[in-house]
Amino acid sequence: AQSVTQLGSHVSVSEGALVLLRCNYSSSVPPYLFWYVQYPNQGLQLLLKYTTGATLVKGINGFEAEFKKSETSFHLTKPSAHMSDAAEYFCAVSDENQGGKLIFGQGTELSVKP
């Protein structure tokens, strides 16, 4: 069965600092991988996704993630944090064997200090 693990339920960075949110997955087949962001009192919004092709994926708001098959990782980064990046971030993998449902990690809450 596929699974997703996000390291760190809470990450705090200073404004302008590097953001690194870690995600590891397990999958028996080539995965489709996603990062979603959830702002307070809102639904989830897609940041970026990896399906095939280039392993470095660029998303919205300056975020990017790199698919590393050898490490089964899909870490999310942003070079310089902004106050508006404060939110909860979810990594997810799509399970093709179960109707393509999304299997989510536990989430990482990002705080940005001024």
User: Minimal distance in Å, beta carbon 32 to another protein?
Assistant: 5
Closer of 14 and 45 to another protein (Cβ): 45
Member of 53, 70, 99, 114 binding another protein (CB under 8 A): 99
Contact set for another protein, span 14-73 (CB under 8 A): 32, 34, 36, 41-46, 49, 51
Closer of 17 and 44 to another protein (Cβ): 44
Helix (H, G, I), strand (E, B) or coil at 72: coil
Asked whether position 101 contacts another protein by CB under 8 A, the answer is yes
Contact 48, 35 (CB under 8 A): yes
- 69/103 Cα distance (integer angstroms): 18
User: Minimal distance in Å, beta carbon 68 to another protein?
Assistant: 19
Asked whether position 107 contacts another protein by CB under 8 A, the answer is yes
User: Minimal distance in Å, beta carbon 43 to another protein?
Assistant: 4
Partnered with residue 61 across adjacent β-strands are none
User: 93 exposed, middle or buried (CB, 10 Å; 0-12, 13-18, 19+)?
Assistant: buried
- Using CB under 8 A, count the residues that bind another protein: 25
Q: How far is residue 58 CA from its own chain's centroid?
A: 12
77 to each of 2, 10, 27, 28, how far by Cα in Å? 23, 15, 22, 25
